[in-house]
Homo-oligomer: A and B are copies of this chain.
Amino acid sequence: MARETGGGYSESGGNRSLPRWEDHRAMFEEYLEGLTFSEEPQFSGLVESMRYSMLAGGKRVRPTLCMEVARVFGAGPGHVLPAAAAVELIHTYSLIHDDLPAMDDDDYRRGRLTTHRKYGEALAILSGDAFFGEAMLLLTDRQEGSCEQLLEAVHELAGATGVNGMVGGQVVDVRNTGAGSGIDPETLALIHTFKTGSLIRAAARIGAVLAGAAEGDKEAVSEYAGELGLCFQIVDDLLNATSTPEELGKSAGSDAAREKATFVGVYGLDGASREANASLERSLYALSRLSPEERELSGLREMAFFVRNRAR
């Protein structure tokens, strides 16, 4: 099923003949840095907490994916910056809420104190809440595009975050925490299809929508991104099981300690590695169905390998 992939699995995300990924990320960080949300002095504490969370670095997989997909379909990557930021704000809110004491109860994220440990639980909950409205405002007020394109982008982002999206997946994940390796593979797949996959699919699809891609291309790019998201999560589980806290920038081994349902728990280290490779192959196959020319797709192929081979 896999197409010719050029360098096989040894081709890494560090291939510097394609520096687009870093260019997108630098452009995105600069855009994000400029978001200040409010001039009202009374809201400065809220804005500070939001900016603490959203400017903590991170891989920026979702926004750069959105930008690269837009580029592939003929728009400038800068064209979709507001939409890319909207997706990243939703991602940021989900991290803040996932870290809360009632959920994963994490003290560290990306090497820094989590939002509730830094600003208190109330402000953490509310910072997460505020990101949702601000994300939608970026789409309606800052993003350029036809009315139909913008409304479709709103629809995609809303769907990715509702019951049949990120939140549904997170609920099933929370419920199965403690189940450890006792979880069935179907439930594990469902958790991550929704919890991680929904938003990554939306990021890619929104890039395609705003670049005016055809329906078939939107479908294929969604499938590519869904596999990217799945692969991302499997690799997350692998890293959590095998890394030191210093390597990871957060508490390593924490999944096992909580008996969270993970791919490593269900398939073992080797089995999870194979699942990640299979997901990578499927993502590359989806790429082969896109209408743009082969050479235009090199960035997306690189991203798939990066997600598979990243060390943190």
Binding site for B on A (CB under 8 A): 37-38, 40, 42-43, 45-47, 50, 93-94, 97, 100, 102-103, 120-123, 125-126, 128-130, 132-137, 139-141, 147-148, 150-151, 154-155, 157-168, 170-172, 174-175, 187, 190
Q: Which residues of B contact A103 (CB under 8 A)?
A: 122, 125
- Contacting A137 at CB < 8 Å: which of B159, B168, B175? B159
Q: A167-B126, A168-B40 are in contact. Are A133 and B162 (CB under 8 A)?
A: yes
Nearest 6 interchain pairs by C-beta = A133-B162, A136-B158, A102-B121, A133-B161, A140-B155, A147-B147
Q: Is the CB of B46 within 8 A of A167?
A: yes
A245 to chain B, nearest CB (A): 24
- Contacting A46 at CB < 8 Å: which of B42, B121, B168? B168
Residue from A128, A165, A168 with most neighbouring chain B CB atoms (10 Å) = A168
Residue from A38, A45, A129, A154 with most neighbouring chain B CB atoms (10 Å) = A129
A-B contact sample (9 more), CB < 8 A, given A38-B164, A93-B129: A37-B163, A38-B163, A102-B122, A126-B174, A132-B158, A132-B162, A133-B162, A137-B158, A141-B155
What copy number does this chain have within its complex?
2
Q: Which residues of B contact A162 (CB under 8 A)?
A: 37, 130, 132-134, 136-137
Q: Which residues of B contact A132 (CB under 8 A)?
A: 129, 132-133, 158, 161-162
Q: Which residues of B contact A133 (CB under 8 A)?
A: 132, 158-163, 165-167
Q: Which residues of B contact A126 (CB under 8 A)?
A: 97, 167, 170-171, 174
> Could you list 9 examples of A-B contacts with CB < 8 Å?
A43-B163, A93-B129, A102-B121, A123-B171, A133-B162, A134-B158, A136-B136, A136-B157, A137-B155
CA distance A147 to B149 in the complex (A): 10
Q: Is the CB of B40 within 8 A of A164?
A: yes
A150 to chain B, nearest CB (A): 6
Q: Which residues of B contact A165 (CB under 8 A)?
A: 133
A144 to chain B, nearest CB (A): 13
Q: Which residues of B contact A168 (CB under 8 A)?
A: 38, 40, 42-43, 46, 130
CA distance A294 to B273 in the complex (A): 71
Q: Which residues of B contact A50 (CB under 8 A)?
A: 163
Q: A102-B122, A132-B132, A168-B42 are in contact. Are A140 and B163 (CB under 8 A)?
A: no
Q: Which residues of B contact A147 (CB under 8 A)?
A: 147-148, 151
CA distance A170 to B122 in the complex (A): 10
CA distance A107 to B151 in the complex (A): 39
Q: Which residues of B contact A125 (CB under 8 A)?
A: 97, 100, 102-103, 125
Q: Which residues of B contact A38 (CB under 8 A)?
A: 163-164, 168
Q: A147-B151, A163-B46, A164-B38 are in contact. Are A129 and B190 (CB under 8 A)?
A: no
Q: Which residues of B contact A45 (CB under 8 A)?
A: 171, 175
A147 to chain B, nearest CB (A): 4
Nearest to A165 among chain B residues (CB) is: B133
